[in-house]
Amino acid sequence: MAARQIYFDNNATTPLHPEVRKEMVAAMDMYGNPSSMHAYGREARANVEDARKRVARFMGADESEIVFTGSGSEANNTVLSLFVCHTTQCIPGMRQTIVTSKIEHPCVLETSDCLKHRGVDVKYLEVDGYGKVDLGQLEETLKSTSVGLVSVMMANNEIGTLQDIPVISRLAHKYGALMHTDAVQAFGKVPVNVDDLGVDFLTVSGHKIYGPKGIGALYVRKGIPYCPFIRGGHQERGRRAGTENTLGIMGLGMAVDMRAAEMAAEEVRLQGLRDILKKGIGERIDEALFNGHPTDSLANTLNVSFPGAEGEAILLYLDLAGIAVSTGSACASGSLDPSHVLLATGVDAERAHGSIRISLGRENTLDDVEYMLEVLPGVINRIRNMSTAYIKGGVHASAR
């Protein structure tokens, strides 16, 4: 390992908050089943319900509206799968069209695609150059088609762009559709209040907010049609079978409390660091092209393209220097397909290939940012010099 280790990949996952870790270590041996009526069970149940209250309170929901899930992905799958619920709990007359966007997380896009093959009609909204969904196209679609659900993410994981969820919710409801938002990246970074947003469903995940992996929560508005994705138990009021992940739930509860305490100041600090990074990169590196929205964006996220330098090569050279970033999304790495998000914003394939995502978190300092600004220009130069395809400011003969 390099002498210095800097983690700039907080949109992929975050380290545990020390208080979360403490809470989980202390609870490690609390093995009672929350469904058991004896003292062991009651202790676990009390802790699960306490965490539920904390999660609910932080998003302005009632505790009865929170369903704990095994991940953010599972929560998103649960909502979309309402369309193919054919049991006795089936939703009668559920309109068979989903409207989502082209820049959703793969767990929404791939589930939608799968539903398409099962007869559900899916429409994908275009986004503009900043990653904002096309509201005109949304209203046209709602007007002309009988839409059952609109699912648009609150903040994009790759470029950080925030959507105008209250506006989208109002449009969805105006035409009788339900509204879901994947708030995994937004929750804990910007204020999330289910009533202000006007959503019927909202997804969050533990490990993006310094909580544990393998725990998520789905907000389901009271009285809204629902169908369990995982069946076979009475847990979560019959909405998600399986013995509760007590430890994960408690970790999520504590992570939420810590966000409630730290979020406001932390986001101002991270935005300061992000802006120093952005300015420094712009000054020190030729042709640094920033992706996403300049202002309506997560404070911690910086996505930048360096034409003539492959994102994977940048990632590996930075890794040698002890700096962890990502190319596009973590889920897309390993494949050489350019980011679907960047392509949807109109970025060409070469620029998309030359992009990295730097996502800051609570452990990052000004020192980290300065070190990055020392290392990155050399890395980009080195890669560009090796690449015969790169001509500064000019046409890039395609190497692929």
Site residues (CB under 6 A) for ligand PLP?
A: 71-73, 105, 107, 153, 157, 182, 184-185, 205, 207-208, 216
Q: Is the torsion defined by CA of 77, 168, 149, 293 positive or negative?
A: negative
Nearer Cβ to ligand PLP (9/350): 9
- Least distance to ligand PLP from the beta carbon of 257, Å? 19
- Least distance to ligand PLP from the beta carbon of 69, Å? 9
The closest residue (CB) to ligand PLP is: 72
Rounded alpha-carbon distances, angstroms, from residue 27 to 30, 68, 191, 371: 5, 18, 29, 38
- Least distance to ligand PLP from the beta carbon of 112, Å? 13
Please say if 331 is a catalytic residue.
Answer: yes
Nearer Cβ to ligand PLP (208/351): 208
Q: Which one-letter amino acid corresponds to residue 292?
A: G
- Least distance to ligand PLP from the beta carbon of 156, Å? 7
Nearer Cβ to ligand PLP (152/171): 152
Catalytic entry in 85, 107, 114, 331? 331
Nearer Cβ to ligand PLP (95/240): 240
- Least distance to ligand PLP from the beta carbon of 107, Å? 5
Name every residue whose Cβ is closer than 8 Å to that of residue 334 and which is 6 or more positions away in sequence: none
- Name the helix (H) or strand (E) containing 128: none
Distance CA 280, CA 290 (A): 12
Name every residue whose Cβ is closer than 8 Å to that of residue 196 and which is 6 or more positions away in sequence: 60, 166
Nearest residue to 252 (alpha-carbon basis) of 75, 107, 50: 50
End-to-end CA distance of the chain, in Å?
32
Nearer Cβ to ligand PLP (41/106): 106
Can you list the positions of beta strands (E) in 76-155?
97-101, 121-125, 149-151
Distance CA 238, CA 229 (A): 10
Residues annotated as catalytic (active site), given as ranges: 331
